[in-house]
Amino acid sequence: MESLELAAITEHNTNARVLSLTSLSLNNFRNYHSARIEINAAPVVLTGRNGAGKTNILEAISLLTPGRGIRRAKLSDIDSQSASGLPWVVAANLYGMQGEVKIGTGRDSQTPDDGTDKRMVKIDGKVIRGQSELARHFAIIWLTPQMEQLFQESASAGRKFIDRLVYSFDPEHASRINEYEYAMRERNRILQSNRADAYWLDALEQTMAETGAAIAQARLHTVEHINHTILRSPLSFPKADIGIAGMVEDLLAKGTAAVAVEEEFKHRLRNARSLDAASGRTLGGVHRSEMNVIHIKKQMPAHLCSTGEQKALLLSIVLAQARAGAQWHRVVPVILLDEVVAHLDATRRLELFEEICQIGAQTWMTGTDSTLFTGLEKKAQYYQVDGGSIIPT
Ligand SMILES: Nc1ncnc2c1ncn2[C@@H]1O[C@H](COP(=O)(O)OP(=O)(O)OP(=O)(O)O)[C@@H](O)[C@H]1O
Ligand SMILES: [Mg+2]
């Protein structure tokens, strides 16, 4: 792991790659029949009445990365209801981690309508298998009103949030998680069957141990950088301290060498076979880790903080993530802030605008009223969203 002190020297490094969309088109996507916009790297402000389609645009962008997007929607729910079953498609031209690229994604119309919908992904016109490849090109971080429940929700919500933070730092994280989960499902399946094959189980546990140690390491690494950035931030937003606790993370945090952690995890998996077989799932591993966030000044766990404090803590984490990305990984992710600005007082709004401009991130922000974005007039591109069209203003 690189030393934070050393890395901090490059704090204002200017050669970070700034990710940005240059065009976005939506087809049969929720309330959009067909819409296309061209944008530059500056912040984008989307205004419009309730139900106009602002969040839908952010959702479309979020589907350019692995996973189910900001709404975690069922693929078929995204199909425009007025397009009588035609699959949705999102296409974008963007500056990605590896330069200019064209990304297309949508519901795969080849999939039988039996609830096993698949997402089709194309990169530069070529259909690719799976979605992990997207993480090698594009990184986004987002904050939505639904995420305000994050600290109240199950452990899996917090873990997914951390994993999303890691994606933009470590493009291999998504494929490692896939590999880990695949091996785990196979292991569960074999343990459930009566024909447990010890060699095959050994091999699967080896994969779980290797990928698991790497997953835990990447989470700790990301969290360390974000915490460090938050501590040094001059912003007035409350400072958060993020922790990630789990069997493998705890071993690494104690200073155990990665190879030894792998061995230990493998050993524990092997010993847990009969217990796991009995319970029908894998009881211990990086799929069970939990996020703990503390409001530093109050020394209060986030789930006990007020709604307003929780919102501010999340925003402070997301901004630190963007800044840390630029600093240590030389990638400035695209930021999506849905309805975030409305909750901030005027001073904090200006602080937010200044911060995103300084980071240089293409930040997409929504709000019902353009007055919420006073102070950004000369720096942002404004669009009015209404009834399925997106009009520059
Ligand atoms: N599959 C679909 N087909 C057609 N319309 C849909 C579909 N899914 C959602 N919608 C509609 O899209 C509209 C816009 O939703 P969206 O959440 O983007 O609005 P918004 O501008 O963010 O509003 P708010 O300010 O209330 O957050 C809603 O009226 C919703 O009913
Ligand atoms: Mg909305």
- For residue 105, the CA-to-ligand 1 centroid distance in Å is 20
Residue ID of nearest Cα to ligand 1 atom 17: 55
- Residue 9 scores a pLDDT above 60: no
Enter the pTM of the model. 0.89
Q: Do 202 and 316 have their domain in common?
A: yes
**Relative to the alpha carbon of 59, which ligand is closest?**
1
Question: What is the share, in percent, of the chain residues with pLDDT greater than 70?
Answer: 95
Arithmetic mean of pLDDT, 115-143: 91
- Residue 10 scores a pLDDT above 50: no
Of residues 18 and 164, more confidently modeled: 18
Q: Minimal CA–CA distance to 34: which of 93, 118, 90? A: 90
Query: Which residues form ligand 1's pocket by a CB distance below 6 Å?
Result: 30-31, 48, 50-56, 77-81, 368
Neighbours of 152 (CB within 10 A): 11
CB 69 within 8 A of CB 119: no
- Residue 11 scores a pLDDT above 50: no
The average confidence (pLDDT) of the chain is 92
Give pLDDT tens digits for 221-250: 999 999 999 999 999 999 999 999 999 999
Bridge-based pairing state of the strands 32-38 and 20-29: antiparallel
Give pLDDT tens digits for 317-327: 999 999 998 88
Number of structural domains found in the chain: 2
pLDDT band at 7 (very low <50, low <70, confident <90, very high): very low
The boundaries of the domain holding residue 383 are 17-139+332-393
- Report yes or no on 190 lying in a domain: yes
pLDDT score at 5: 41
Which residue, of 284, 310, 330, is where some domain finishes?
330
pLDDT score at 138: 95
- Residue 148 scores a pLDDT above 90: no
- For residue 269, the surrounding DSSP H or E stretch is helix 258-271
Q: Do 230 and 268 have their domain in common?
A: yes
Give pLDDT tens digits for 78-95: 999 987 789 999 999 999
Of residues 37 and 167, more confidently modeled: 37
Residue ID of nearest Cα to ligand 1 atom 2: 30
Which residue, of 330, 353, 381, is where some domain finishes?
330
pLDDT score at 123: 98
- For residue 130, the CA-to-ligand 2 centroid distance in Å is 29
Which atom belonging to ligand 1 lies closest to the Cα atom of 49? 25
State which of 56, 74, 75, 89 you would mutate to test the pocket of ligand 1, scoring each by most atoms of that ligand within 8 A of its C-beta.
56
- Report yes or no on 11 lying in a domain: no
Which atom belonging to ligand 1 lies closest to the Cα atom of 339? 27
The CATH number of whichever domain residue 354 belongs to comes to 3.40.50.300
Which atom belonging to ligand 1 lies closest to the Cα atom of 58? 18
**Relative to the alpha carbon of 372, which ligand is closest?**
1
pLDDT score at 194: 74
pLDDT score at 2: 42
Lowest mean pLDDT among 96-110, 187-201, 247-261: 187-201
- For residue 336, the CA-to-ligand 1 centroid distance in Å is 17
What is the separation, in whole angstroms, between the first and last Cα of the chain? 47
- Residue 329 scores a pLDDT above 90: no
State which of 31, 89, 117 you would mutate to test the pocket of ligand 1, scoring each by most atoms of that ligand within 8 A of its C-beta.
31
> Residue 347: is it exposed, middle or buried by C-beta count within 10 angstroms (0-12/13-18/19+)?
exposed
- Residue 4 scores a pLDDT above 90: no
**In whole angstroms, how far apart are CA 126 and each of 83, 105, 131, 167, 280?**
26, 11, 13, 22, 39
pLDDT score at 333: 94
Q: Do 345 and 216 have their domain in common?
A: no
pLDDT band at 14 (very low <50, low <70, confident <90, very high): low
pLDDT score at 339: 95
Q: Do 180 and 248 have their domain in common?
A: yes
Q: Do 231 and 258 have their domain in common?
A: yes
Q: Do 47 and 186 have their domain in common?
A: no
The CATH number of whichever domain residue 295 belongs to comes to 1.20.1050.90
Q: Do 350 and 249 have their domain in common?
A: no
- For residue 22, the CA-to-ligand 1 centroid distance in Å is 24
Residue ID of nearest Cα to ligand 1 atom 24: 50
Of residues 11 and 283, more confidently modeled: 283
pLDDT score at 211: 98
pLDDT score at 370: 92
- Report yes or no on 2 lying in a domain: no
Give pLDDT tens digits for 160-169: 999 988 987 8
Q: Do 252 and 350 have their domain in common?
A: no
- Report yes or no on 271 lying in a domain: yes
- For residue 114, the CA-to-ligand 2 centroid distance in Å is 30
Give pLDDT tens digits for 189-220: 999 987 778 999 999 999 999 999 999 999 99
What distance in Å separates the CA atoms of residue 369 and residue 329, rounded to the nearest whole number? 35
